[in-house]
Copies of this chain bind each other. A is one copy, B any other.
């Protein structure tokens, strides 16, 4: 699958493509800063992505020519999203839910297109409610599903409903699985909803017009179809990456087993440790890539000067 990023003939005729929600101008100048990007890692919250960027910098130091000890700098000039660059990695938050994700995914894909980046993989790391799994398990998504338990993302374009398939890259998932290093993992389908409360069958929202039995019937149905966790961005993340022809993976840790309850009961330390798990797996994968690149460089024969 060749990297493409965008599919929009109108972009070429734009004088200056302002990436509005990160406050970055989409000129060809972007290649200097972003031309070498190979990995885009997205997650919900700004703090979590800042911490991740810091962790990445510390972990990737041996492989990159990084001399300073400063914290990575947020390159977004708006307060909507943060965007950090650490070597070949972009770490970006996407907020909560599909619309917030779509805005930043459109702009990230355009950024990489303008920068002329190549061979880029996308990862969403996040938190989720699990189904039949111990809290703290990282679910690697096989296929994302919408709230109707269908494997596609529905979008309304010019007043018409359009459906985009939401499967993910099998090879990338397998490779990530190899990097789990003791972290409990599972494979499964991920259900994506637009609402955290009624949308996920919780009994503790402002509104609830169903019973505990109705809820359990629905969650058990999802489980029987192979769903192992529930969150709020996967189906769109998978579908947009597929449209952009970029390999993508989704790794979300479960904070609770939804078959047993609705509220999260973790200590702040547990919460912190759990939500770092998907990021640790992705970091291990990136380190493996950088080590292999290093090896390849070293084993390449020295070029002989050409004879005139």
Residues in chain B near residue A20, CB distance under 8 A: 263-264
- Count the copies: 2
Q: Secondary structure at chain A's binding surface: helix, strand, loop or mixed?
A: loop
A106–B6 CB distance below 8 A: no
For residues 4 through 34 of chain A, which have their beta carbon under 8 Å from a beta carbon of chain B?
A: 5-11, 14, 17-18, 20-21
A97-136 near B? 1/0 per residue, CB < 8 Å: 1111011011101100100000000000000000000000
Q: Is A156 part of the contact surface with B, judged by Cβ < 8 Å?
A: yes
Tell me which of A84-92, A172-180, A208-216, A295-303 binds B: A208-216
List chain B residues, Cβ under 8 A from A95.
Answer: 95-97, 100
Is A223 positioned at the interface, with any CB of B under 8 Å from its CB?
A: no
A137 at the interface (CB under 8 A from B): no
A196 within 8 A of B: yes
Given the interface pairs A80-B96, A98-B97, A206-B105, the reply to whether A155 lies near B10 with Cβ below 8 Å is no
In the complex, residue of chain B having the shortest beta-carbon distance to the beta carbon of A104: B96
The answer to whether A106 touches B205 (Cβ under 8 A) is yes
Whether A59 is near chain B, meaning CB under 8 Å from some CB there, is: no
A149–B158 contact, CB under 8 A?
A: no
> When chains A and B are docked, how far (Å) is the Cα of A96 from the Cα of B161?
21
Give chain B nearest CB distance to A263 CB in angstroms. 6
Q: Is the CB of A99 within 8 A of B102?
A: no
Known: A205-B106, A207-B6. A159 touches B99 (CB 8 A): no
Chain B residues near A99: list those with CB within 8 A: 96-100, 193-196, 232
Q: Answer yes or no: A187 CB below 8 A from chain B CBs.
A: no
Contact of A155 among B5, B98, B199 (CB under 8 A): B199
Tell me the smallest distance from the CB of A125 to a CB of chain B, in Å: 16
Question: Which residues of A, 205-242, contact B by the 8 Å Cβ criterion?
Answer: 205-210, 212, 214-215, 217-218, 221, 232, 240
A103 x B98 contact (CB < 8 A): no
A residues apposed to B, CB below 8 Å: 5-11, 14, 17-18, 20-21, 44-48, 78-80, 95-100, 102-103, 105-107, 109-110, 113, 146-149, 155-159, 161, 193-199, 201, 203-210, 212, 214-215, 217-218, 221, 232, 240, 243-244, 263-264
Contact between chains at A5 and B206 (CB < 8 Å): yes
- The smallest beta-carbon distance between A277 and chain B, in angstroms, is 19
User: Within 8 Å CB of A159, what residues of B?
Assistant: 147-149, 218, 221
Q: Specify which chain B residues have a CB less than 8 angstroms from the CB of A103 in the assembled complex.
A: 96-97, 195-197
CB distance from A157 to the nearest CB of B (A): 5
Report how far A199 CA is from B235 CA in the complex, Å. 17
Contacts of A209 in B (CB 8 A): 7, 157
Chain B, residue nearest A113 (CB): B206
A11 touching B204 by the CB < 8 A rule? Answer: yes
Please determine whether B105 and A8 come into contact, CB atoms closer than 8 angstroms.
no
Complex contacts, A48 vs chain B, CB 8 Å: 79
